[in-house]
Structure 1
Amino acid sequence: MQILQFLSYFLIVSQFFHFSHADVGTAAQYSPPYLPTACYGDDQSQFPSSNLFAAAGDGIWDNGASCGRQYLVRCISASQPGTCAPDQTIQVKIVDYAPTALSSSSAQSATIVLSETAFGAVANIAVDSINIEFQQ
């Protein structure tokens, strides 16, 4: 009976804690031209119509396995206060590998390099990089 009480208590208390499954990293932005890409070459149809896409940095590239993956991305902070768009989360598709992308990134060694449209959806585009929370 004590075990049942303990389990009941544990389940009730655990409801008050939020466990996040997201990772934290950095995001930069890159500009056109976006083709060709490491994932799909010159195929224009690779880009979502929303233009919310990204290039994977070394940390998530996974030898190309990240191509086509979808990530939820949210700006959590930046060097300049007020940079992040409040309560804004976007979904991006990985279409390229950042170190070999035709256009250079606004910041080196970013976890994810967002298209101009994607970066502008979560942050002020005047900054080079932001801290993000991201989840596949």
Structure 2
Amino acid sequence: MKKTTLIFVAIVACLVSIASAKSGVATFYTKYVPSACYGDKPQGNMVAAASDVLWNNGAVCGKKYTIKCTGARNAVPFPCTGKSVTVKIVDHCPAGCASTIDLSKEAFTHIADPVAGIINIDYKKAKDHDHDL
């Protein structure tokens, strides 16, 4: 009985984790400084720019998100590496941004083939111990 209960609790926990992720789109950029959040102060290369969907007048600056590629949006049929990446929001993707999150090229390359240029993603706010979705 205890083993069955433990398995059930584990399954529910996994489903809640998956359900908390939101779907979106990611692209990448290559110039990280200056940024809307930190000006000329570099923040490393595992960074991202938030679109208006997340920006909230800059309230998202410094927040971390875990991103996982979920599939193609163009002619590159299997762009995903199967990995996830955690990035820090350092910038604002300008109006007309083609993505939910504009990743640094290094972060994008970690989760997808950069030849794809644009991918479908799942994303969620990261916790200190989060590494995967």
Which SS does the other structure have where 2:94 is aligned? helix
2:123 matches 1:124 = no
Q: What residue identity is the alignment partner of 2:68?
A: R
Count of aligned positions: 116
Which SS does the other structure have where 1:60 is aligned? helix
Match 1:57 to one of 47, 51, 57:
51
Q: CA deviation at 1:109?
A: 2.8
Q: Could you say what the CA RMSD is over the residues aligned between the two structures, in angstroms?
A: 2.2
Task: Flag as ranges the 4+ runs of structure 1 deviating above 6 A.
Answer: none
Alignment partner, residue 38 of structure 2: 40
Alignment of 1:1-136 (within 5 A): 16-17=11-12, 18-19=15-16, 20=18, 21-32=20-31, 34-44=32-42, 47-48=43-44, 51-79=45-73, 80-86=76-82, 88-99=83-94, 108-136=97-125
Cα distance in 2 for partners of 1:12, 1:75 equals: 28
TM-score (norm 2): 0.77
Alignment deviations for residues 77-122 of structure 1 (CA, whole Å, 9 cap, x no partner) = 1133220002x0111000000117xxxxxx9331000001001000
Alignment deviations for residues 41-74 of structure 1 (CA, whole Å, 9 cap, x no partner) = 1112xx13xx211001110001100100000000
In structure 2, list runs of 5 or more residues that go unmatched: 1-5, 126-133
Whether contact under 8 Å (2:51, 2:92) holds in the other structure is: yes
Whether contact under 8 Å (2:62, 2:89) holds in the other structure is: yes
Greater radius of gyration (CA): 1
Cα distance in 1 for partners of 2:11, 2:64 equals: 29
Q: CA deviation at 1:14?
A: 6.5
TM-score (norm 1): 0.76
Which SS does the other structure have where 1:59 is aligned? helix
Q: What residue identity is the alignment partner of 2:93?
A: A
